[in-house]
Amino acid sequence: MPPEPDGPSGFERMDSNGNHGGEKKPFMYRVKTGLTNFMKSFRIFLYNKEHQTFFGNTSSSWIKISIYYFFFYLCLGLFFSGMIAVFAAIVSRESPTYTYRHNQMKVGGKFCIGMGFRPMPDITSTSLTVYGDSQSQNTTVSSLTSFRYNFLTQYDTTYLEECSPFNPASKLRGSHSCKFSWDDIVTSDAHPCSTEKMYGWPIGQPCILIKLNQIYGWMPADGNIIDAVANATGQPILPIDQQGQNIYITCEGREQEDKNKTGSMIYYSILHPLGIPNYGGIPYYFFPYRNAREEVEPFVLVQFTSLPFDTKVNIICRAWAPDIQQYVQGSARRGVVTFDILRSNKSAPVTK
């Protein structure tokens, strides 16, 4: 029997789901019906034969949209390229627009000069371990060797000049730089820090390279820093090295306990390639850094000759100049570099 009309209007009563008389259809039926309606609507969205639309737009609309965005992105690309061209034209590739004099590298009349050390097999760690096995020694040595050939070797001698107090770097032509490389300190294969001797690591007397970061245009100030270095090392600066603008490098244990364990050290520098026990020196006439061809950042080699076994020693190395600020706070370092070193007769642990 068909359902009776609902009232005088003669309309049949239905619920919101299209069910006659409020009767609820099975769940799967409703899902199938909804999916069918969705697919039908999606097909119409893809292509509506009645209105001749594709993805909701006619062919003429799509042509207009394409032309608009073509010119929009063309103008955007030309604007970006123009800005790059303007910056390339006004910004020098040889020297920075703003140097250390115009930024926060200067604090209270002194400059925040960064330092570093090598080898650094793990760039995320400041710990060095002198293991007894050849494999780990080769890994560490290869790290320093790579740094040497990439950053401390001058290959093209065309633009090199001998620098001296009478011919400092500040007076060289723009494309020329001072002759200063690894071979000026490690002068022979018999040198204790030579590659042939694996930088002293196999015999437990490692050579550590201490360097200054390159600061464009910075020149060490003239002044008296000799007394401060003598007080720090307990030994006077040699008369031959007493130049007011020279930079001196010293290393020691960071705390008193570390100082008792550090043992003796030998500093190899361009002032003393054969080594002295008190300090390393970098002559002032190798400054300033000017981003010239084949220019090498200044460095000193420090050899630790009597490290104890199985004892970690915390080391702090300092750069001394009248206008270099020495600061250590948390992870911040200015004018100093810190690392720890451990000597062990064991083999390095196997990493999986």
AA letter at 61: S
pTM for this entry: 0.74
Mean pLDDT score, 29-52 = 76
Per-residue DSSP letters for 302-316? Answer: EEE--PPBT-EEEEE
195-211 confidence digits (pLDDT tens): 999 999 999 999 999 99
Mean pLDDT score, 91-114 = 71
d(CA 160, CA 284): 17
Note whether 251 and 337 are within 8 A (CB).
Answer: no
Note whether 200 and 192 are within 8 A (CB).
Answer: yes
Q: What's the token pair of residue 317? A: 């190395």
Q: Which fold has domain 107-343?
A: Immunoglobulin-like (2.60.40)
pLDDT for 85 beyond 90: yes
pLDDT at 84: 94
Mean pLDDT score, 221-247 = 83
Domain boundaries in the chain? 28-91, 107-343
Average pLDDT in the chain: 83
Q: How confident is the model at residue 226 (pLDDT cuts 50, 70, 90)?
A: confident
Task: Name the strands in the sheet holding 265-268, side by side, starting at the edge strand that comes first in the sequence.
Answer: 115-118, 207-212, 299-304, 265-268
d(CA 181, CA 295): 9
22: region left, alpha or beta (phi > 0 left; psi from -120 to 50 alpha): left
313-332 confidence digits (pLDDT tens): 999 999 988 888 777 777 77
Per-residue DSSP letters for 236-260? Answer: PPPGGG--TT-EEEEEEESSHHHHH
118-139 confidence digits (pLDDT tens): 998 788 888 888 888 888 888 8
pLDDT for 20 beyond 70: no
153-163 confidence digits (pLDDT tens): 888 888 899 99
AA letter at 246: N
Maximum Cα–Cα distance across the chain = 124
